[in-house]
Structure 1
Amino acid sequence: MKLLLIPFLMLAFSFNAFADGQPDFRKLQEIARIIHSENTSYRTDKGWEKITELMNQVEIFDESVKRMMSTFCSDEPNKSVLIVGEPSDTFKYLFARLAKMSPEEGCKRLSHMDLITAKLQGYMYVGTTERNWRDFIEKPAYNKDVVLYVNNLALLIGIGTSMNRDVGIESTYINAVKTGQLKSVAFLNKYDYKRLIHGRHAYVLNGFQETINVDDLKMAQVDKLVRTYLDLNAPHIKMSDKVANFMYRNIQYYQPNLMEPQRTMNVVLSLIRQNPTKTTRFRTDVKSPNPYGANIKEEYIIDRPDAVAMGLNFEYFMTEANRDRLRIYDFHTNELLQTMTGKLGAVRSNNFETNKLRLEFTSDGSVQDKGFKIDAIVEQKTEDVVLTVEQVRKAIMEMVQVPDWIIKRDYQVVRNLPAMLEEDVVGIHMAKKAVIKAFKVGYVAGRTDEKPAGALMLVGPTGTGKSYIAKKAAEFMDMKLVTLDMTQYATPESFDRFLETVANNLILYPYAVYLFEEIDKADTRVLDRLYFMMDEGIFYDKNQRPLFARGSMVMMTTNAGHDLIIRERNNPNLQRLVNEELQKFYRPSFLNRFDSIPIFLPFSKEEFHQLATIMTMKKVKKMKEYFDWNATVDEEVIRFMGENGGSDLYGARPMERMVENVISVGISEYQIQRGTIEFGDSFKISKVRGEKLKFKISVNGRGGVNYEVDMDNNSGLIDFSATFPELAKLFQENRMY
């Protein structure tokens, strides 16, 4: 009977553990994180530890939190709150404050869980979402003393839908909330709220007992968060009011597309990483008897008053596994930090965030071994760091990716831009002039408007350097280049994807060169959104959330009018003719938003020779970097490539193929016929006299291999003797758009 009774009693105990209102944390943790638990056996999730510790001491959001507590303490069965605010991580601080604030007198203390929406999703089979909800939320949390947090209600809506079911798990969720089976707090950014409240999912939003709009944090509140966070997590870092004000003012200006406290806390975390605690290793000699005896219980105290964390280095650790144990406790809280057992040899313990440890070593009456010996303590100590304006500036620059010269107002890089472009970019003088002016006016001239720093439409035939000059300008100005291929956004169905891509980039890179390639291929709605971006300096995402683009340099390329440019390149009225041609493709109001519309003319014979020289030099440099080859290319070879690699129709791209062809064919022929060209070898490519298409490669001055190069069958070469009327007829028959 006793044997039968024991399982029954265990079952009864298991049932009673949750009958009194306590949730089943073991089940809930499959799909949610613990923010706060009333059951001391379950700890706060590590991802929430620091923020809950912070919000236990910072009194902000208290008015909203008290309203939420009143909802949970009311006699109404529906105990739910919808929080509406800016799209930021403010909800985390609000959730943590609610979890840590003591309830009103007479109200139950509740546990708090953060739902991981992705784990609720059924990826493979219809019905998986419903089963996950039933097993990991309904059974362990319904009618229990726990609040389920949904950190993005928009992501919950639609989960679990299928061809046969157009209602997702949101219906199950809101029914449980309305009937009082589930206590919940959900966050929804205000743009999603405006979208959903007028759609078929309005019933979800209207199902909450109360809706609370959370205001933006004031700077004084952000300052309180920052200073308390530093006191708790990096007490060695000190910051004066002057430096703090510099940080708040500059991060607000240079990162307008992230809200507080997210943007400032990102900078603070960067500053903590830049100023870590100092790690020091101390010799010590803490050890058990060797061999240790049976049924012993010994204690050891390790005290390092100046440390903020420490780890233990064992010269050896040899005990009977699962019988003889060393338990390591935090001396101050008596929390068990680590248990060690078995034949571990030379080993290092975990790192413990405390300055005093209590070690408890116990053995049973069976086999004994050597025990353990701690020969060193690795401690982390703090040395006070007083933050400077320069350190804060660096952290802001790294987070927002603002070029250092913009924050420092060091304009040497702008002074050097003309020379840098002239050295690396062939021809296109009108475009270089327009780009240089755009950077000067946009970033140096003391602008007072909110428009992008510059907006250029780069017009010309393919291969004339439109994309190249944008890439080189970004490189020389030390700015991020964000390139979008507009052929990917040519249909109405791609519009939302375009909005999402640009919005995400503006949040991450508010100071960048944005290159929109081949905008003549884009859907008209895409052009409308770019119109407002250039006109107001604001880009509206799919929820009409405004994102500032005042720090961006906008460049767009188009091949519209390429045939006219080739045909009329020597016409003094070319600019007027091109402008008239562009109006066949774009509205005048759209064209009027560009600061400049430079024309990219086909390259002249002299410029093709320059291109051949530059491309050859770059190829030689890359081969040195990759293979340590010392390559030399004769001037006669470069002249051949300059004369035969150019094209009015295809621009510089056939030249790239020509350079690659002449050099790479020679290298491959030599290695196939003679042997490997080793790292550090030197080789020379020269022309074979009297042979138009024959070249010679010699390695280390010895012998050589003659080889022949086929002319590129995709050169797009046009007979330069052809008359302009003939060219016009050619383009009339083969229009590219």
Structure 2
Amino acid sequence: MAENKDKRELENIDTVEDATKENTDEKKDEYEEICYICRRPESVAGQMIKIPNNICICKDCMQRTFDSMNNSGFPMGDFMPNGQMPNISMINLSDLQGFMPQSQKIKKKKTKEEKAEAPKLDIKKIPAPHKIKASLDEYVVGQEYAKKVMSVAVYNHYKRVATDTMDDIEIEKSNMLMIGPTGSGKTYLVKTLARLLDVPLAITDATSLTEAGYIGDDIESVVSKLLAAADNDVERAEHGIIFIDEIDKIAKKKNTNQRDVSGESVQQGMLKLLEGAEVEVPVGASSKNAMVPMVTVNTKNILFICGGAFPDIEEIIKERLNKQASIGFQADLKDKYDNDENLLQKVTVEDVKKFGMIPEFIGRLPILFTLESLTVDMLVRILKEPKNAIIRQYQKLLALDEVNLVFEEDALRAIAEKAKEKKVGARALRSIIEEFMLDIMYEIPKDENIGQVTITRDYIEKKGGPLITMRGVAALPVNE
């Protein structure tokens, strides 16, 4: 009986090993072979010559190697006594294993038969704009217009992918330019969208981009990040979405005598990406070099969303508005727009052009929309309404110590008012809460009898302390 049991266990182990081997082989088949010397994939370099230890060399590199050895006077005859190639095992190829990380492997393109068999995107299954917006509403407070614009753009992008080859009518893509004050939720909107969508989405920023040949990331690196998000599947990446943050940082530099390698030249370089072109991008790296494989990606069906705070663009808008209404007896006062919080909503293409964006670049971003400046009421809602609201995060932290955390409505308003004064949008909320929660988080674990902590306006304004409720006892104020 024991022998039979051991035999069955050995058979099970063999079966598991075989299955694991099959899965590994299948995964290997998904990716293209890449030449060890020139780093070109099989689709570009042609069939590979395989040598021991899973190393592949393309025919061109192998031929060049032999040619250089023949032309250099290298005595190959000494190594080939019978006219045969020497045993390749004379080289320690085990040292060369693992030369390519998984992130740099390229997935094979599907054949025509596989494309025909693959299920096409069903238009009826595409989430409608109101459903996308409803999902965004759960996480993002306010910004109704921005959410509506993004929901429609993403919905249309899905439809473009679905109807790519249906008829002669080609649907143009609508790239977007999003302008909003710092902390208004530009990046948060796109990150939330990334969680909800089933298309590859890459979030990158323009601050590190420079003209080709200079220190910094190449312009094509934004597409490289999308390729990584699509698991190096070129066909899937070609239907993705790229969000480029801090786009205002590549505006033309004013009054400079030096070469503008991170401004206008980057905008010029991005024109072909936004319009749609076949570009060679590095796989699994931010810049091109000899040891990184390259792949060609067509950006024709990639949706680009650009966002930026555009600091001081309000001054350009004010100057334009004051010129329009500064003549005659009924002329407006010069300081009329000084306290207008939503002045950004009056922005035009001309203002963006005057800020430093070139006309060709703006022309490739046909949808221009702005985000509202956050009011005190909106900040209060941000504190408590979203699914992952800041207050809920702290309540969960204290709940792990079996303590209830309660915020009075006046306290929330006091936090929002303080955040508004800092003029950095919703980012200020966290820093303010961290400041007054430090002592509470430090002291609470000391006493197991504490059952509830109530945050009051007096505590936020440093006029008193929080209300501490002991288990089974009424709430008592505790002075700092």
CA distance in 2 between counterparts of 1:173 and 1:521 reads: 50
Q: Which residue of 1 aligns with 2:243?
A: 515
CA distance in 2 between counterparts of 1:555 and 1:574 reads: 18
> Does residue 175 of structure 1 match 2:68?
yes
Letter matched to residue 531 of structure 1: L
Q: Please tell me whether the aligned partners of residues 634 and 686 of structure 1 are also in contact (alpha carbons under 8 angstroms).
A: yes
| CA pair 579-676 structure 1, distance change in 2 beyond 3 A | farther
The superposition leaves residues 248-287 of structure 1 with CA deviations (integer Å, 9 ceiling, x where unpaired) of: 2376xxxxxxxxxxxxxxxxxxxxxxxxxxxxxxxxxxxx
CA distance in 1 between counterparts of 2:189 and 2:109 reads: 43
Q: Which residue of 2 aligns with 1:248?
A: 115
Letter matched to residue 226 of structure 2: N
> Does residue 419 of structure 1 match 2:193?
no
Instruction: Indicate which of 168, 178, 196 corresponds to 1:476.
Output: 196
Q: Please tell me whether the aligned partners of residues 180 and 310 of structure 2 are also in contact (alpha carbons under 8 angstroms).
A: yes
| CA pair 91-611 structure 1, distance change in 2 beyond 3 A | closer
Residue 627 of structure 1: CA displacement?
6.4
Residue 515 of structure 1: CA displacement?
1.8
> Does residue 644 of structure 1 match 2:418?
yes
Larger radius of gyration between Structure 1 and Structure 2:
1
Instruction: Indicate which of 291, 296, 299 corresponds to 1:549.
Output: 299
Letter matched to residue 148 of structure 2: K
Q: Which residue of 1 aligns with 2:276?
A: 536
Residue correspondence of structure 1 range 53-64 to structure 2 within 5 A? none
* TM-score, structure 2 as length reference: 0.59
> Does residue 435 of structure 1 match 2:150?
yes
* TM-score, structure 1 as length reference: 0.41
Residue 562 of structure 1: CA displacement?
4.4
Q: Please tell me whether the aligned partners of residues 452 and 537 of structure 1 are also in contact (alpha carbons under 8 angstroms).
A: no
> Does residue 558 of structure 1 match 2:308?
yes
Greater RCO (Cα-Cα under 8 Å, separation 6 or more): 2
Q: Please tell me whether the aligned partners of residues 451 and 535 of structure 1 are also in contact (alpha carbons under 8 angstroms).
A: no
Q: Please tell me whether the aligned partners of residues 175 and 274 of structure 2 are also in contact (alpha carbons under 8 angstroms).
A: yes
| CA pair 171-417 structure 1, distance change in 2 beyond 3 A | closer
Q: Please tell me whether the aligned partners of residues 688 and 695 of structure 1 are also in contact (alpha carbons under 8 angstroms).
A: no
> Does residue 658 of structure 1 match 2:386?
no
| CA pair 428-684 structure 1, distance change in 2 beyond 3 A | same
Residue correspondence of structure 1 range 195-274 to structure 2 within 5 A? 245=113, 247-249=114-116
Q: Please tell me whether the aligned partners of residues 210 and 218 of structure 2 are also in contact (alpha carbons under 8 angstroms).
A: no
Residue 473 of structure 1: CA displacement?
1.7
Q: Please tell me whether the aligned partners of residues 633 and 686 of structure 1 are also in contact (alpha carbons under 8 angstroms).
A: yes
Residue 589 of structure 1: CA displacement?
1.5
Q: Which residue of 1 aligns with 2:369?
A: 598
Residue 93 of structure 1: CA displacement?
8.6
Q: Please tell me whether the aligned partners of residues 458 and 466 of structure 1 are also in contact (alpha carbons under 8 angstroms).
A: yes
| CA pair 538-593 structure 1, distance change in 2 beyond 3 A | farther
Residue 467 of structure 1: CA displacement?
0.9
The superposition leaves residues 34-62 of structure 1 with CA deviations (integer Å, 9 ceiling, x where unpaired) of: xxxxxxxxxxxx99x979xx9xxxxxxxx
Instruction: Indicate which of 689, 696, 705 corresponds to 2:466.
Output: 696
> Does residue 675 of structure 1 match 2:447?
yes
Q: Please tell me whether the aligned partners of residues 529 and 539 of structure 1 are also in contact (alpha carbons under 8 angstroms).
A: no
Letter matched to residue 482 of structure 1: A
Residue 488 of structure 1: CA displacement?
1.8
Q: Which residue of 2 aligns with 1:464?
A: 184
Q: Which residue of 2 aligns with 1:613?
A: 384
CA distance in 2 between counterparts of 1:624 and 1:572 reads: 33
Letter matched to residue 413 of structure 2: R
CA distance in 2 between counterparts of 1:450 and 1:87 reads: 33
Letter matched to residue 440 of structure 1: Y
Letter matched to residue 267 of structure 2: L
CA distance in 1 between counterparts of 2:53 and 2:44 reads: 11
Q: Please tell me whether the aligned partners of residues 516 and 557 of structure 1 are also in contact (alpha carbons under 8 angstroms).
A: yes
Letter matched to residue 454 of structure 2: I
CA distance in 1 between counterparts of 2:447 and 2:362 reads: 58
Residue 661 of structure 1: CA displacement?
2.9
Letter matched to residue 670 of structure 1: I
Q: Which residue of 1 aligns with 2:41?
A: 88
The superposition leaves residues 200-239 of structure 1 with CA deviations (integer Å, 9 ceiling, x where unpaired) of: xxxxxxxxxxxxxxxxx998xx58xxxxxxxxxxxxxxxx
Letter matched to residue 489 of structure 1: L
Instruction: Indicate which of 349, 360, 365 corresponds to 1:579.
Output: 349
| CA pair 175-444 structure 1, distance change in 2 beyond 3 A | closer
| CA pair 616-675 structure 1, distance change in 2 beyond 3 A | farther
Letter matched to residue 245 of structure 2: E
5+ residue gaps, structure 2, are 1-20, 30-34, 86-107, 231-236, 251-261, 283-287, 289-293, 319-336
CA distance in 1 between counterparts of 2:206 and 2:59 reads: 31
Residue correspondence of structure 1 range 28-39 to structure 2 within 5 A? none
| CA pair 407-613 structure 1, distance change in 2 beyond 3 A | same
Query: Alpha carbon RMSD of aligned pairs, Å?
Result: 4.8
Residue 527 of structure 1: CA displacement?
2.4
Q: Which residue of 2 aligns with 1:308?
A: none
Q: Please tell me whether the aligned partners of residues 416 and 429 of structure 2 are also in contact (alpha carbons under 8 angstroms).
A: yes
CA distance in 1 between counterparts of 2:345 and 2:381 reads: 26
Q: Please tell me whether the aligned partners of residues 115 and 150 of structure 1 are also in contact (alpha carbons under 8 angstroms).
A: no
- Indicate the SS of the match to 1:684: strand
| CA pair 620-174 structure 1, distance change in 2 beyond 3 A | farther
Answer with 523-532 or 592-601: which moved more: 523-532
Residue 591 of structure 1: CA displacement?
0.5
Residue 675 of structure 1: CA displacement?
3.4
Residue correspondence of structure 1 range 401-420 to structure 2 within 5 A? 409-412=124-127, 414-420=129-135
Figure out how many residues of one structure are paired with residues of the other and give that number.
360
CA distance in 2 between counterparts of 1:561 and 1:571 reads: 14
CA distance in 2 between counterparts of 1:436 and 1:419 reads: 9
